[in-house]
Structure formats: C-alpha cells, structure tokens
Amino acid sequence: MEEIALALFVCLILALVSKRYSLPPIPFYIIAGIAIGKSGLNLVPSDAYSQYLSSLGLIFLLFYVGLEMRPRSLRERGRTILFSGGIDLAVNLLIGFAAAILLGFPLLESFILAAAFYISSSAMAIASLVENRRLILPEAETIVWMMVFEDVLLILLISLFSLQGGNLLTYLLLTIAVLAATVAIVRLLERPIRGILARTDDLPSLLTFTLVISTTYLAKLLKIPEALVAIILGSSLAATSGPALDRLSQPFREVFLVLFFVFFGITIDFSGGFSPVVAAILCLLAIGSKVASGTLVGWGLHGSVLSGIEIGADTLGRGEFSIALVAIFGSATLSATVAILVVVTSLAGSFAARYTDGIKGWVGGREDLPLPVAGAEPE
C-alpha cells in the first residue's frame, strides 16, 4: 500500500515538470512507472491493491467517454466527420496492421496493435489546441470532431475485441439488452438521481463514485466486459445529468487515471519478446501515418496540404486510449511496445504542435508570407 504513495508522489513531481514546460503528462507517468517498476529500480511492486486502483482509472476514463458521447451532434455534421474520421481510420489502421503483420506479430495481436496505433489521444489533441492557441483555425474544428469520431471507434473496437472466442449473436443480444435495461433503469431513477446530485453536501460525490464503480459489479453479474459496461453506464447517464456527473467524477478520474498510467508503466516488462528495433520502426511509422492521414484530410477539407501539417501535428500523440486498449486486451510484449509508442509519439506530437508555424513556413515557403491557401475561407 505505502508504495502507491511513493508512485503518486513521483508522478506529482513529474506532472509539475511537464506543466512547467507545457508537455503532455501521460508519457511522464509511464516513464515514472517504468523507472520505479519491474523494468527499473523495482521499488514499487504491482499487487492486488494497485491493480484494483488502477482498474478504477480505466473505468473512470471509459465512463467519461460514454458520458461525452453525442450521437446527435455527430449525425448533424455527418459528411465531414465521416470523411475526416474515415480517412484517419483507414490510413492509420491499415498502416498499423500491415506493419504489425510484417514485423511478425500474431493476427489477433496485430489487430490490437493496429487499434492502439490508430487511436490518437483526445486529451493531448485538445490540450495542444488550447495551449498553442489554434482554436480560431478551421482545422481545429476538424481535429476535435475527428477525436469524437475516434471515441465512437474506440467503443466499437472494445466491443469487437471483447468478443474474442464468444458467440457473436448471444454477445450482441446481451450487450443490446444491457444497454436497453441500463437506459430504462436510469430513466426510471432520473428524479432521485437528479435530486441527490443537486444537493450541496457529500452525497453527490458519494453517488457518483458508487455509480461508476458499480460497473465492476454489473460486469461480473452480467458476464460482459467492464470496459463496455462503463461506457454503457456513462452514455445512459449522459442525458439525465451529464454535466453534473462530469464535474463530480473529474477528481476521481484524474487521480485514478494517474495511478492507471503509472502502474501500466510499473508492470511493463522489457525482458520478454519486446524488440527495440520493432518499437522504433512502429514509432516512425506512427508519426508518418498520422502526418499522411492529416495531409489527406487537410487537402480534402481545407484545400491545403499545410492544413495537413496542422492536423497531423495535433493528432500525432497516442495516449490514454492506446494504453487502455493494450491494458485490457494486449500481451506483455504488446504493452511494452505500445508504452514506447505512446511516449515517443506524444512527445513528438507536442513539439510538432508547438512549432507548427515554423514547420508550415519551412514547407510552404517563407513563414511571414501570406499563405492564401492555409485555411478555407468561411462562407
């Protein structure tokens, strides 16, 4: 137990450093975990306690994904989202999958690796847009909606991977039944839930925490994966009291997610089938493929390859979702490889996003020259 405090303390120091230099914190948590865990100084072992606490991080993350799901606004912006999200998906999933197969990963692992390779970090993309002051650019809209599209894909991928070996039909029916039942129960309990959440005492936090961790219980009871239950629960509660639950679950999410990242690092084992060469190749490809998909989207939607640099730089970083996918479904080798992938791409993405103007200038001629094609004219 006391080692958890040590792990969190190291994370706190590193988070301060990352904030000081406006770098994404996730790679630092993973590096901290690797340094104090199995592959490093071996100061903090991973035991049942820490596993439970870090699994809460995952549940809170996926609950949040469900809570933020907005099928309606997605449908309203249908075509552009399908275009940008579709290119992002096709290019990165294919390159990731082909690379994984060619580098000798087994079929199923290649799928999981391809998914982790494809999915960008929404948290990093958004933080980068806000911190680097890019929100006025039309590309910023494209990027945030691409992230929404990726969230939907994450749910599909999790459902798909959870299937492993099961019967498709029973699984599908069970999931739909659980979704329907959860929505019905939440609707039925709407008034008491709202009533408790509107109070000013300690009950709103207690209810939020209980609702979220009841996921583990429901999953065991219904025999469907926790990850899926967390998303279902989040999305069915979104309509009832989305903003309140978002605000109340935020502190839990923040703390447990840090534990999740650091213990992901702690359990990383580089002694198995991990190959640094394979990891290096994947990192380079991961950077290249997001730049390629970004360029295609930028060219298609904003009529400019320079927009692609913007989109590529901001979506380059892989993070929480890649780790979540390998943490749930991946082997030890896969986890080690993806840990490196996340650290490298997130730092590369952070630097690329910071110097986008410089890179654009270098690609498109002199920086201070008006770039008439950079950014579509609004109607």
Partner 1 sequence: MGVRCIELPGIGTKYELETEKGDRVAIIFMGSRTFQLYVLEKGKASPSAAELTAAEARRLGSLLSGAIIEAEKEAVEIAFSTLSDLRIRVHTYAIRKHLAGKSIAELAVRTKTGATVVAVSRKGKNIINPLPSFTFEDGDIVVAIGDTDQLDEFEHTILGN
Q: Which residues bind partner 1 (CB under 8 A)?
A: 68, 70, 73, 122, 126, 129-130, 133-137, 140-141, 144-145, 147-148, 306, 357, 360, 367, 370-372, 374-375, 378
Q: In angstroms, what is the minimal distance from the CB of 242 to partner 1?
A: 12
In the bound state with partner 1, the residue whose beta carbon lies nearer, of 181 and 373, is: 373
By C-beta, is 68 or 190 nearer to partner 1? 68
**Could you say which DSSP state residue 134 is in?**
-
Smallest gap, in angstroms, from Cβ of residue 360 to partner 1? 7
Dig out the tokens for 197 from the structure. 């959440």
Nearer to partner 1, 67 or 219 (CB): 67
- Tally of residues, the chain: 379
CA angle 291, 306, 77 (to 5 degrees): 80
Nearer to partner 1, 161 or 321 (CB): 321
SS (H, E, C) 108-129: HHHHHHHHHHHCCCHHHHHHHH
Q: Is 371 strand, coil or helix? A: coil
**At closest approach, how far in Å is the CB of 183 from partner 1?**
21
Cα end-to-end span (Å), the chain: 59
Residue 354 and residue 132 in contact, taking contact as beta carbons nearer than 8 Å: yes
- When the beta carbons of 32 and 306 are compared against partner 1, the nearer one is 306
Q: Report the alpha-carbon distance of residue 26 to residue 14 in Å, rounded.
A: 10
The span from the CA of 319 to the CA of 207, in Å, is: 29
Between 40 and 361, name the residue whose CB sits nearer to partner 1. Answer: 361
22 vs 355: CA distance, rounded Å: 13
Indicate the residue among 128 and 322 with the shorter CB distance to partner 1. Answer: 128
Judged by beta carbon, residue 123 or residue 237, the one nearer partner 1 is 123
Residue among 308, 302, 287 at smallest CA distance from 363: 308
**What is the token pair recorded at 268?**
């990383």
The least distance separating partner 1 from the CB of residue 138, rounded to whole angstroms, comes to 9
* Opening angle at CA 254, ends 249 and 256, nearest 5: 95
Considering the complex, what minimum distance in angstroms separates the CB of residue 374 from partner 1? 4
Q: How far is the CB of 33 from partner 1 (least distance, A)?
A: 26
Q: Pull the structure tokens for residue 49.
A: 């306690």
| Residue 73 region by backbone torsions, left for phi larger than 0, else alpha for psi between -120 and 50, else beta | alpha
- C-alpha gyration radius of the chain: 21
